[in-house]
Structure 1
């Protein structure tokens, strides 16, 4: 009595399934996804070989098809992560280039105080903090600063004899801040331009 011969096992189909499943799981995680690339590529290759063997009479066609599907899904997930990281990397590079360009940029900053007050105290900071007693208006200081200028200060306080004093800040010819103080010991603040 002879036993019916069972079809040969299809090891490539099972390997395709295992590699495709592992690759798909690993592809879900951004950093670990680098491991997924070789797994899913091998899963596709083994799945194709498994399908060819199934056509030649070996069993395991289902394993090979499942391995191919999982591997292709893993490749799609890996490609999606690669596209996301590429876009993020491009945006970071662009932002760094803009910051470098701003760091090399020079700006002309002008501080001015005008008015009819007989005496004022001017305090300012752009390159360092300074306080000056001024008895004649108008008063003006010009600076050239390199890089991004944020948060400088210019303030003016009238003396006990009062009067009017106006502070004004321009950067590269564009007025950034202006304020007026009127009366004795009044303060005008042109900070945070």
Structure 2
């Protein structure tokens, strides 16, 4: 009979948990920065988050290559989302900068506005923006048709121009030309009819 000695069994060693706190932190910061980056004005918060996320994720990848960390995928994902958040943030800066530049250009641009009235009515009452004072509107009652007036404006403006036929009726057509380009026209026919070219 053989002597049987039981073999002592030891539990298998557990795998070491992933060690890469920097890579994980970089991923989280990059992801939060990516979420904030497309939101206007709030996206300013994304800049430091994505930059810090990119740095920490890159350090995490370097630690994986050096054998000091094990979660390579999360570190690479952190680099990717951080770069994507940085690109979106840069695009927003370009778009907002262009919008501000356009507004500044329009605020200093000079315009020549020509109002004209034609038609078979002999006279008409005319109201038009002069732009020489803030929002002022001038009126000419019983103006002879055809009638023309040229005014100057600087910056953004919304024009007002209405023509009203008299009690004799007839037809009138108002026309607005800004910097040589016709932008608005309207016609009215009848007694006290109103042609409006306002809001150009």
Deviates more, 1:80-89 or 1:92-101: 92-101
Q: 1:116 to 1:92 in 2, by over 3 A?
A: same
* Counterpart position of 1:29: 32
> Per-residue displacement from partner, 1:24-51 (whole Å, max 9, x unpaired)?
1221111233432332233223323335
Note the C-alpha offset of 1:156. Answer: 0.8
Alignment of 1:190 onto 2:197? yes
Alignment of 1:96 onto 2:100? yes
Structure 1 SS opposite 2:70: helix
Deviates more, 1:93-102 or 1:156-165: 93-102
Alignment of 1:159 onto 2:176? no
Residue pair 2:130, 2:138 contacting (<8 A) in 1 also: no
Structure 2 SS opposite 1:65: coil
* Counterpart position of 1:71: 75
* Counterpart position of 2:122: 118
Distance 2:58 2:98 in 1: 33
Note the C-alpha offset of 1:98. Answer: 2.2
Structure 2 SS opposite 1:28: helix
* Counterpart position of 1:6: none
Distance 2:29 2:188 in 1: 66
Note the C-alpha offset of 1:116. Answer: 3.3
Alignment of 1:131 onto 2:139? yes
Calculate the aligned-residue CA RMSD, in Å: 2.1
Residue pair 2:57, 2:75 contacting (<8 A) in 1 also: yes
Distance 2:182 2:110 in 1: 17
Alignment of 1:144 onto 2:126? no
Q: Greater helix percent: which structure? A: 1
- TM-score under structure 2 normalisation? 0.73
Gaps of 5+ in 1: 1-9, 52-63
Deviates more, 1:42-51 or 1:136-145: 42-51
Structure 2 SS opposite 1:22: helix
Note the C-alpha offset of 1:126. Answer: 5.0
Gaps of 5+ in 2: 1-15, 34-45
* Counterpart position of 1:86: 90
Q: For 2:23, which of 20, 24, 36 is the aligned residue?
A: 20
- TM-score under structure 1 normalisation? 0.76
